[in-house]
Amino acid sequence: MLLNVLLFSALSIPGNLPEERPIADTIHLKEVVVSSKLKRYTSGLSLKIVSPTELRQNSSMLLSELLTSQAAVTVNSYSPGGTSNVSMRGLNSSHTAVLWNGINLQSTMNAGVNFGSIPTFFVDQVVVQQGGNGALFGSGAIGGVIHLDNTLNLGEGHSGEVMQSVGSYGLSYTGAKHTYSGSKMALSTRLFYTEAENDYKVNSSDNRDRQINARYSKGGIMETGTFALTGNDKLVVSVWGQDGYNQYPPMVSNTMSSEYDYNRFLRAAAQWQATRHRVRFNVKSALFNDWQKYRNPGIERSNHHTTQGQLEGEAIVTLSAGSTLEGGINASYERASSTNYPDAKERYRPAGVLGYRFRTSNGGFEAFASIRQELINGDASPMTWSVGLQKRLLPGLQLRGNVSRNYRVPSFNDLYWTGWGNPDLKPEDGYGEELGLDYLYMKKGFLLSVKTAAFNNNVDNWILWMPSGSIWTPQNVKSVWSRGAEANITAKQQLNRTTLGVDLSGLFTRSTDQTSGSAVKGQQLPYKPKYKGSAAIYLQTKWYSIRYAHSYTGRRYYISNTDWLNPYSIGSVVVEAQMHFSWGGMRPFARIDNIWNRDYQMVKGYALPLRTFQAGVSVSFGKQR
């Protein structure tokens, strides 16, 4: 029944279509940006593309677990598979836009995205874009954007995969997919189901030695279709449906918890792309529905339902061999009904976008400029803009820069929560600047990539919940200054079919409250580490691969600069074999997470597992990417 509903929805409602000039290295790792808009505007932006190998090695994990090893991203998780949010560059999770095939997934109610509900198995590419760009990607793109994209090419025949893994504390993960790819039509189906008891060991003040009430189960289906309507017209449809059950574990200082929720969503989207002489057209539409039932027996029962619709059209006019002019409109509709609102609330957000892009014939200089104006129920939001450039200084050495004005509209919880919300809130807005220097050297199967950047973000009208008598209400009271520097080094050597590689990343972020008269002015914001780092070393051959990854998260204050969580370092190792047969292949794999058995917390009071194990096997047939 669910499959029928999904297929019906697909006919009425994104995928993103690959565009010209792929960005790939000669080591053949296929690190290609597939998001159409992101590819057109890579100049001046800091991008981290998660490699296809790393995605495959984490395909039995949730996206929150994959991103934990990325230095550019700060993950705050209450338990494995539970509520997990991410932030970048010292700002909040609401300042990180999350785009699925170009459509924003941020919740209308709380402006967040739960990465603990997204299976890596459903994603073909993950790109972490650091730094804001509200003119391109809209509200919430202040600290950065995480792009989740699906690809489905034509002319590749039949292929499929079945995967099963089991792990510590009752973990089970099942995935299956099948793809038919003809000359004019391609169809793909993916399924997943995962569950875990999460009864791992904890150090609790009530002397219980196991975590309680942390069980989860979730499953879903994704359907994608690509249709070549003519030689110049292509249609892509995507539908994603999912159900989940999550228990809320207690803090280590509490003796019990019985909270849980049921959640479900159905997301459907479509994109039509066409070329007419010197003009390319992209038209997207999307319809998202999310439901949640929260229960705290004897205390609270609440139900929530949100609907989000989006229609976007853009025309890309080729003015000359190296310059294009782009214009577009975007219309968004949001509606939410909740036990915690006095009545159903809705919001209309039309926007107009104009952009210009220039590139010299030899690629030595690239630049773009864009501007965006959005209306919120008829009232103008801050006008946003972005200017970026990239200049080749020497062979392999490039200077890049980006300046932007960005914004975030208040969430419905901020505006309408019964007795607490503030309907007079203004959008948060601010400016971001970045200057980077990149070096790339490639010769005879060897690659060395060094990327460095300094960044600065200022955000005003920051929404903060503050006490007002006996209740808490949100107010536009805070000014935040986030600045820092980052560096990424990648070295790879390929000999025949063997690749040896090293990735190193480091991030320094100073993120402070600059509100006039604030008692904590100049202090680091809660849960924003000054120092983060990651390192990985890997060996990949035709027959097997092994990867060791290590991440470091520095001290995080959770109340003031006198109360903090200790730094922690987490290591993981993944080993897999590749067995090749005439009909396909088999991939046994095993992983150990938190291999050094560290006791740590991402959120104060919520213990996370010590050393865990997972093992499984993937069986595939046909052509695999």
Q: What is the structure's pLDDT at 252?
A: 86
CA distance 225 to 238: 7
pLDDT in tens, 344-356: 999 999 999 999 9
Residue 34 falls inside a structural domain: no
Q: For the domain that residue 507 is a member of, what is the CATH number?
A: 2.40.170.20
pLDDT at 331 over 70: yes
On the question of pLDDT at 430 being above 60, the answer is: yes
- pLDDT higher than threshold 90 for residue 451: yes
Element of type H or E holding 11: helix 2-12
The tens digit of pLDDT for each residue in 250-265 reads 988 887 889 999 999 9
pTM: 0.92
Length of the chain: 625
Is residue 180 in some structural domain? no
- pLDDT tens sequence across 382-394: 899 999 999 999 9
Spatial distance between the Cα atoms of 610 and 284, rounded to a whole number of angstroms: 44
Domain count, the chain: 1
290 residue type, one letter = D
Q: Is 18 within a domain?
A: no
Alpha-carbon gap, residue 89 to 457, rounded angstroms: 8
H-helix or E-strand spanning residue 508: strand 498-513
Q: Which two tokens stand for residue 443?
A: 């010769």
* Whole-number Å distance between alpha carbons of 173 and 180: 24
The pLDDT of residue 287 is above 60: yes
Taking only the tens place, the pLDDT of each residue in 166-199 is: 999 999 999 999 999 999 999 999 999 999 999 9
Q: Compute the distance between CA of residue 195 and CA of residue 169 in angstroms, rounded to an integer.
A: 10
Which segments within 63-168 are labelled E, that is strand?
Answer: 74-77, 84-87, 96-100, 103-104, 125-130, 144-149, 157-167
Mean pLDDT of 452-480: 89
Condensed to tens digits (0 to 9), the pLDDT of residues 220-246 reads 999 999 999 998 999 999 999 999 999
Mean pLDDT of the chain: 90
Which contiguous run of DSSP H or E holds residue 535?
Answer: strand 531-540
Q: What is the pLDDT of residue 202?
A: 84
| Tens digit of each residue's pLDDT (9 = 90 or more) over 573-593 | 999 999 999 999 999 999 999
Binned at pLDDT 50, 70 and 90, residue 477 comes out as confident
Percentage of the chain surpassing pLDDT 70? Answer: 93
Give pLDDT, residue 561. 75
Is 98 inside a domain boundary?
yes
Residue corresponding to tokens 């700060």: 74
Nearest to 139 by CA among 406, 354, 474: 406
Q: Tell me what the mean pLDDT of segment 538-558 comes to.
A: 95
What 3-state class would DSSP assign to 572?
A: strand
Closest by CA to 357, choosing from 171, 564, 136, 141, is 136
Per-residue pLDDT of 104-119, as tens digits, reads: 999 999 999 999 999 9
Pick the closest to residue 614 from 568, 570, 573, 571 (CA basis). 573
pLDDT band for position 206 (cuts 50, 70, 90): low
104 occurs within a structural domain: yes
Domain range for 408: 46-156+313-621
In a domain, 567, yes or no: yes
Per the domain annotation, does 190 fall within a domain? no
- What's residue 28's pLDDT? 34
- Whether residue 306 is contained in a domain is answered as no
Q: What is the mean pLDDT of residues 397-402?
A: 95
Those residues with Cβ within 8 angstroms of residue 117's Cβ, 6 or more apart along the chain or in another chain: 62, 218, 242, 244, 263
Confidence of residue 32 (pLDDT cuts 50, 70, 90): low
Residue 382 is predicted with a pLDDT of 86
CB 484 within 8 A of CB 509: yes
Judged against a pLDDT cut of 70, whether residue 26 lies above it is answered with: no
